[in-house]
Chain A
Amino acid sequence: ETGVTQTPRHLVMGMTNKKSLKCEQHLGHNAMYWYKQSAKKPLELMFVYSLEERVENNSVPSRFSPECPNSSHLFLHLHTLQPEDSALYLCASSQVMRGESTDTQYFGPGTRLTVL
């Protein structure tokens, strides 16, 4: 496997279900990101982990819960979602160096989530 992988690629869930999205990066990076891409809206940054510490949480509802057990893996735990949460969820990773902001983010293929 190379780059950034995401599983599953497609997920359909009911509003009472609990599911998790998984992201794995094989690039040796130290930062990982979750983005939401909805129809007709720009990409929205949800969470950022740098060195396994959450450094960004953009006012995301608590029904989304991220987890970063190590620098290569990132999860997004989902529970009691709403139909408006249906979207493409993209994971990205980058190599962050202290005092610099020139890192480049590399994206996975995304998980297409449908909430019924």
Chain B
Amino acid sequence: AQSVTQPDIHITVSEGASLELRCNYSYGATPYLFWYVQSPGQGLQLLLKYFSGDTLVQGIKGFEAEFKRSQSSFNLRKPSVHWSDAAEYFCAPRSEAAGNKLTFGGGTRVLVKP
């Protein structure tokens, strides 16, 4: 069965430090991959997506993600975190084998220390 895992429920990072959020998936074929961010009291905003091609994907707000087929991972990174990056982040694979549905991970909540 298809599944997605975000191993870290909470991450605390100092402002200005780097951030990496992990996402691992288990699908028969490489799915399309999305990262969304949800600020408190808000809906989900698309950060970036990977369909094919270059395995390093640039997104909005200075985020990037790297697709690694061998590790079935699509980790999200940001070199220098800002206080406004405090939010919950969701990885969401999607594949035809899973009925073209977005399957959301459990999310990682990021806290930013001054």
Contacts and interface: CB of A to CB of B under 8 A. Distances in A.
Q: Is the interface of B mostly helix, strand, loop or mixed?
A: loop
Interface residues of B, number: 24
B102 A42 contact: no
Given A42-B106, A42-B107, A43-B104, A104 B34 contact: yes
A65 B97 CA distance: 27
Interface string A94-110: 00000001101111111
A105 B46 CA distance: 8
B106 A101 contact: no
B32 A102 contact: yes
Nearest to A10: B41
B44 A101 contact: no
| Number of chain A interface residues as a range | 10 to 19
A105 B102 contact: yes
A110 B96 contact: no
A51 interface: no
A50 to B, nearest CB: 10
A104 B49 contact: yes
A90 B43 contact: yes
17 contacts: A4-B43, A42-B103, A42-B105, A42-B107, A43-B104, A56-B99, A56-B101, A90-B43, A101-B94, A102-B51, A104-B49, A105-B102, A107-B44, A108-B43, A109-B41, A109-B42, A110-B42
Interface of B: 32, 34, 36, 41-46, 49, 51, 90, 94-96, 99-107
